[in-house]
Every structure is written in C-alpha cells, then in structure tokens.
Amino acid sequence: MSRHATGSAPGKIILLGEHSVVFGEPAIAAAIDRRLEVSLRVGGEPAMPSDSRIERAVVLAATDLGVDANDLSVEITSDIPPACGLGSSAAFSLALVRALASLADRTLSAEDVRRRASRVEDVFHGTASGVDVAASAEGGVVWFERADPPRLERLRPGKPLELVVALSGEVRSTAGPVSRLRARHAARPDLYGRFFRLAGDLVRSGREALTSGDLEAFGQLMDAAQGLLNAFGVSTPTLERMIGIARGAGALGAKLSGAGGGGAIIALAPAGGGTIVRDLREAGFEAFPTRIDRDRREDEDDRSNRRSA
Ligand code: MEV
C-alpha cells in the first residue's frame, strides 16, 4: 500500500540584520505569503528531483527520522522564487522535515523541527545563522539571535506592514557573500566588529519603531541598514538602482534582503502603496507586493503537514 505525506513552509524576508546576525547581532525577519510544499510518497516508483543538494538534504533528513530515502518519491511545488534570498532553501528544509515526520508518524516539538531543518539547510548554505529557518518556522515577524539554543521571539508590529519585493535577476548564492564578508572581518576584525555592532543597534532601534507602529522611523532604519550592507560589500549596482527606484516611488525605506550579491530588495510601502511595484516593473524588474500577517502563527497552520494512507 502506498503512503503519502506533505509538509509546507513559507518564504521569508529579512527586515533588518542580515549578515551581522551571523556574528551574533540580532535580526528581525518575517514570513511572506508565498509557500513551498514537499510531497512524499512511499510504495510507488521512487523519484527524486535531479539536484544533488536536494538529494543530499533528503538523505540527511530521512536518515535522521529513520525513513529509508531509497523508497521515497519526492515532489516539490513552490511559488517562492528560488536562489533570490527569499528563503526557498529554508522553506524546503522545513517542509521536508515536516513531511518526513508526518510520514514516520512522529510528533516533533517546534524546536526539534527547527533544529533538524537547520541541519538540512546547512547542505545548501554551509553554516547558516538559522534566521531563515526561524522566520519560516514561526510565521509572522520574529526577533532572532544566534545562540545555542537560538533566542527567538515573536514581534507584533504596531501597524500592518505592506512591503514590495523585487528581484534583481542576478545569479547568486547565499554562501558567496557570507564567506566574502567573513574574510573581510578576519582581515579587519576591529573595523568590521564596529560595523556589526552598529548594524545590531539599528535592529534594536528597529524593534522599538516596529512595535510602536512608527513605520517612518522603521523605513529610515532600513535605509541606514542598506548603507551598512553596501559597506559590507554585499550590495550590487543593480540592487542599488532598484532601491533608488523604490525610494523615488515613495518607499518609506528600501534595502536588500538576504545575503545580497543580487537577489531581492524589499521596500516598505507608504499608506496607499505608492507606485513602487509599477515603477520597478517599468524598469524591467519582477516586483510584487507582499503582506506580512502580524498575527499569523505557522504552527496554527493546518497546511504545514498532512498525511494520508
Ligand atoms: C540570509 O538570508 C541571511 C544571512 O544573514 C545568512 C545567515 O544568517 O545565515 C546573510
């Protein structure tokens, strides 16, 4: 008899604090309204997407949960643009662990799911801070600090957040910018240590602004964070151009989101939305609005895993 299970998880954006979070400073991240679903079947013809990292991730996660990866048929469906800094690897890792747990009839605590998914995510990104998995696992808006165990807290923005995401179309990986910045820090630890502390201060101020609903201040902190990300060497001329277009179209703030080196920007839209999406599209970029649901919890989402015989 064939058995079937699915798991799903959302993509993410980093509102403030990417990169400095790797060095122990806090970050604020949020789940977005785009999802990835992993569908697993045993008892039929085994099949695996033809990507060696996905294959390694499946073997790792399956072995971890006592499931034989050789028997599995794995299917992935997603509306999260891949390799853009929008957390598709973290969403895949979580969705996979959720689907496997359901297939193996195991009930895992939220922390256990996150821990296992973070190990799987390392197959894609080397040693990630865990912020992507945390945002995707939790849903809504989260405060994250890398530690063992990570410090994870839900934040409730004082006002709803309307954001625009736009994609640069540049080929990128997360590991590249992270390891280049690590090398810069190793060469000049005092200078980069100060940069990272300043980035952390922006995140701490961002928390105040966000939770009190002062979106203008939050937007200015996003702009300041972008200045630092530029100094880290992780922005690109195309990202800078897109950020300029978003600001010119009325954004309260705009910055790259994720590792940079290409990938995505996010812009905080003013009341009424402004013309950010239109202007970015007219300049040839893929852009879409995303709503951050400040009250949503991932673990209340009955779509996050299902099983059937
Ligand atoms: C990637 O979304 C965020 C980075 O800070 C890397 C990480 O935290 O693992 C660039």
Residue 303 confidence (pLDDT): 46
| Tens digits of residue pLDDT in 276-286 | 999 999 999 99
Domains of the chain: 3-156 (3.30.230.10), 161-292 (3.30.70.890)
Nearest-atom number in ligand 1 for the CA of 22 is 8
Q: Which of 132, 148, 299, 301 is catalytic?
A: 132
Distance between Cα 131 and ligand 1 center (Å): 7
Sequence-ordered list of residues with C-beta below 8 angstroms from that of 15, at least 6 positions apart, any chain: 28, 29, 30, 141, 206, 210, 218, 222, 257, 266
Nearest-atom number in ligand 1 for the CA of 14 is 2
| Tens digits of residue pLDDT in 179-193 | 999 999 999 999 999
Backbone angles phi, psi at 246, to 5 degrees: -65, -45
Which residue out of 22, 142, 173, 235 has the highest number of ligand 1 atoms within 8 Å of its CB and is therefore the one to mutate?
A: 22
Of the pLDDT bands very low, low, confident and very high (cuts 50, 70, 90), residue 309 is low
Residue 302 confidence (pLDDT): 41
Running DSSP on this structure, what letter comes out for residue 133? H
Which residue out of 21, 122, 152, 232 has the highest number of ligand 1 atoms within 8 Å of its CB and is therefore the one to mutate?
A: 21
Residue 307 confidence (pLDDT): 64
299 is catalytic: no
Tell me the C-alpha distance between 267 and 59, whole Å. Answer: 38
Tell me the C-alpha distance between 165 and 267, whole Å. Answer: 7
Check if 258 has its Cβ closer than 6 Å to any atom of ligand 1: yes
Tell me the C-alpha distance between 66 and 43, whole Å. Answer: 16
* Burial environment of residue 295 by CB neighbours within 10 A (0 to 12, 13 to 18, 19 or more): exposed
CB atoms under 10 Å from CB of 226, counted, come to: 22
pLDDT > 70 in the chain, percent: 96
| Tens digits of residue pLDDT in 289-308 | 998 877 777 765 444 666 66
| Tens digits of residue pLDDT in 24-71 | 999 999 999 999 999 999 988 878 888 899 999 999 999 999 999 998
